[in-house]
Amino acid sequence: MLRTYEPFASWWPGSRGLIILAARTRRFGVFRTTQLLAFLVLPALLQASLGGFVASSAMILWATFTPLAALALQGLRRSVVWFVAFFVELVVLGLLDPRLSQDAAALPVGLVIAFFVLNVMGLTLSAYVMLGYFVEQRERARRALEAVGAPAVERLAQPDRRAPEGRDRGDRGSLRHGERPLRRPRRLHRAVVGPGRRRAGGPPG
């Protein structure tokens, strides 16, 4: 059984050539799909070639990057397909594991455990870095919005000092025919200034 899956193990480094070829075409959609498909299929093939979950140190764990990367690159709706595909692949490997383990690779137990620890650590670190990047970008966007929004709120909260004096005194003669005096909406004034404050010389908020 192991010899049947041995050619698939060489596909892992060979797939890099397909990704480079897709990148040279400058088509991001092709490159993205190729990358996601490689991360989904190749760990499963490598695990099958080594003889199941135990002998391969749960190599299928690296395929969890497929739905996470699809979520970041394609959005929630389109990533559901990759999420379901990963679950289907995981179930199939679980059903085939008793048969694959009958002819597993003869690897030392210490090496299998070491690779299992490295797989878990590498996957956790990669997921942490990916999530940390998006959290940092969100914080930068929030700080930028606060820096831009704070002066705007302050300008809305202050009275319009540049208004003509005749408007504050109730003199409408300075306005042209058909024009109406500019008034701040009461709802916006209440939301910014507060219900208990009044503008100096103006109508109650």
Please give the distance of CA 74 from its chain centroid, rounded to a whole number.
Answer: 9
Task: Break the chain into its structural domains and give their ranges.
Answer: 2-106, 108-157+183-193
Alpha helices in the chain (DSSP H): 2-9, 11-24, 28-50, 65-74, 76-100, 109-157, 165-168, 186-193
- What is the structure's pLDDT at 195? 54
202 torsion bin: left (phi>0), alpha (psi -120 to 50), beta (else): beta
N residues, the chain? 205
pLDDT tens for each residue of 126-146: 999 999 999 999 899 888 888
Amino acid at 76: L
pLDDT tens for each residue of 167-195: 444 444 444 555 455 554 555 455 555 55
Is the pTM here over 0.75, yes or no?
A: no
Please give the distance of CA 163 from its chain centroid, rounded to a whole number.
Answer: 47
